[in-house]
């Protein structure tokens, strides 16, 4: 079914003459400067990135809350792992449903729904009176987090011109790390309070409410509008978010890409030759992002620092808070570098750094004295820096850009499902691994995963810097080869080559 089926002749005219619609809209022609046009683009991206903030805060708040939950609800090690993991189970399920839901209702509408569920769910979580009630509400909140996490990078990538796509999608990871750091400092603020965990969770509703309100005033994805045949609306949104030159270029590549495509992508299409390699890259990076062990630091950092000799809850949470701040600062650096150095170089350098620091961390736990907390903190900061400049933000950027437009939400949902599933596996097994094989071998296992991630990135991950979404699609269909400039001087020509190969 062709996507030019929205509103008959008017939409057919819009399909052919979108740039003229942009040029004639008085709300657009007021500001044709690059800075003036991009102000709205940055604002919309930052509002959407609040989804990353609520994701990060909710992910990290459990680390400090666990010090109180395990006392309040008399939790043993297995029950602590379940408490951490139940939201991840919900998130994995939510990630699978998020793509289809956003294809049906739109990226913006779906984010409004998930933000509302998150806000209500976290407020109710703070009122939990027993462990089972807490688990049930965490599962519901997890559903909304998973759906949000799968949609936000897709939404931002679809509103951004390709030269800004890397830095704008990195807003999501930056907001995530800010949420993590904020959770650590909120944990610290309530660390000395009796039953300190309820206010820790009540605060979580703030980013959810901010996302809900913000999404009431943002614009829908122009590519989603185009997929529904709403070409005139798509043209006007592009014109408001980009300069006229950028909007025209994006329009031409969209128009060529959508011609002949169905409105919705299917799993079968994701498995066709060429595109299935993109799915392999997305899912593999999703898994590697988790099995290198980063969320053992996020979820269990205070516990790790207790192992290292920080004896009080407040000192362990303070050390964890320092980790959160470093995570934020490094992610800012990654946002600056990702469209300059490129995705692939950051991945390779970061995975080498993670493997090195994890090997060192295991060695310290093996031969170091009990009171080696500051040394462990230093090495752990090195590990977080390596992750925050590579797999942390780069996975989400690649996940949002490697799939064709009509398959993007579905592909991103599958990759996000894999990410949450691996997250669930790591969080469920960390304390058990510590008890079974010891702290040193546990961190050495994560170091091995980092080396495998390094090998995978070298062999399979392409450099997508300064490539349009449609050029990236052509890369996969052409057997992982970029179009030569003399054969395709524009993104539209690159994507046109796809049609002959399908």
202: CATH:
1.20.1250.20
Say how far apart CA 349 and CA 67 lie, in whole Å: 35
Residue 13 lies in a domain: no
Q: What is the pLDDT of residue 80?
A: 85
Q: What is the pLDDT of residue 113?
A: 96
Residue 86 lies in a domain: yes
Residue 209 lies in a domain: yes
Q: What is the pLDDT of residue 499?
A: 47
Tell me if 326 sits within 8 A of 385, measured CB to CB. yes
Closest among 403, 461, 397 to 170, alpha carbons compared: 397
Tokens of 148: 């949000």
Say how far apart CA 284 and CA 457 lie, in whole Å: 10
Q: What is the pLDDT of residue 18?
A: 52
Tell me if 234 sits within 8 A of 225, measured CB to CB. yes
> With a cut of 70, which residues of the chain have pLDDT below it?
1-37, 192-195, 257-266, 299, 307-308, 311-314, 368-371, 484-502
Residue 312 lies in a domain: yes
Please tell me the total count of domains within the chain. Answer: 1
How far from 58 is each of 23, 173, 176, 328, 435, CA to CA, in Å? 43, 14, 10, 16, 26
Residue 27 lies in a domain: no
Tell me if 386 sits within 8 A of 357, measured CB to CB. yes
Q: What is the pLDDT of residue 408?
A: 86
Q: What is the pLDDT of residue 36?
A: 55
Residue 9 lies in a domain: no
Domain that holds residue 127: 33-501
Residue 82 lies in a domain: yes
Say how far apart CA 161 and CA 155 lie, in whole Å: 12
Residue 390 lies in a domain: yes
């Amino acid at each position: 079914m062709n996507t030019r089926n929205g509103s008959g002749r008017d939409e057919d005219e819009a399909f052919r003459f979108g740039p003229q619609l942009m040029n004639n809209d008085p709300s657009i022609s007021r500001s044709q400067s690059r800075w003036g046009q991009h102000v709205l683009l940055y604002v919309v991206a930052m509002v959407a990135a609040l989804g990353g903030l609520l994701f990060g805060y909710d992910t990290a708040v459990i680390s400090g809350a666990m010090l109180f939950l395990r006392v309040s609800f008399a939790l043993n090690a297995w029950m602590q792992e379940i408490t951490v993991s139940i939201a991840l189970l919900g998130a994995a399920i939510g990630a699978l449903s998020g793509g289809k839901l956003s294809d049906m209702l739109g990226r913006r509408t779906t984010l409004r729904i998930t933000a509302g569920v998150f806000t209500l769910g976290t407020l109710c979580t703070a009122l939990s009176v027993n462990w089972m009630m807490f688990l049930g509400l965490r599962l519901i909140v997890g559903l909304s987090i998973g759906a949000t996490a799968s949609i936000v990078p897709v939404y931002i990538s679809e509103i951004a011109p390709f030269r800004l796509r890397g830095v704008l999608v990195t807003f999501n990871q930056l907001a995530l790390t800010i949420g993590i750091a904020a959770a650590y400092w909120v944990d610290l603020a309530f660390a000395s309070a009796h039953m300190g965990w309820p206010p820790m969770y009540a605060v979580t509703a703030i980013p959810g409410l901010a996302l809900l309100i913000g999404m009431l005033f943002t614009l829908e994805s122009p590519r989603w509008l185009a997929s529904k045949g709403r070409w005139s609306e798509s043209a006007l949104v592009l014109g408001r978010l980009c300069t006229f030159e950028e909007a025209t270029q994006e329009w031409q590549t969209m128009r060529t890409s959508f011609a002949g495509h169905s409105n919705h992508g299917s799993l079968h299409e994701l498995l066709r030759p060429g595109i299935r390699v993109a799915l392999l890259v997305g899912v593999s990076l999703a898994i590697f992002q988790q099995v290198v062990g980063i969320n053992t630091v996020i979820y269990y950092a205070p516990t790790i620092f207790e192992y290292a000799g920080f004896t009080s809850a407040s000192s362990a949470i303070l050390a964890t808070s320092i980790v959160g701040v470093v995570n934020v600062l490094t992610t800012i650096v990654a946002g600056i570098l990702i469209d300059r150095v490129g995705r692939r170089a950051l991945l390779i350098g970061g995975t080498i750094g993670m493997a090195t620091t994890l090997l060192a961390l295991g060695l310290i736990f093996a031969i170091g004295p009990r009171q080696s907390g500051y040394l462990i903190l230093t090495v752990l900061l090195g590990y977080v820096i390596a992750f925050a400049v590579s797999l942390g933000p780069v996975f989400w950027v690649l996940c949002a850009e490697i799939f064709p437009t009509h398959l993007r939400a579905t592909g991103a949902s599958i990759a996000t499902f894999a990410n949450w599933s691996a997250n669930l596996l790591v969080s469920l097994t960390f304390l058990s691994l510590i008890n079974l094989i010891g702290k040193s071998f546990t961190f050495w296992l994560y170091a091995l995963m980092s080396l495998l991630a390094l090998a995978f990135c070298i062999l399979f991950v392409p450099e997508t810097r300064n490539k349009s979404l449609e050029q990236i699609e052509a890369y996969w269909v052409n057997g992982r080869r970029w179009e030569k400039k003399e054969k395709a001087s524009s993104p539209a020509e690159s994507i046109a080559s796809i049609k002959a190969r399908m």
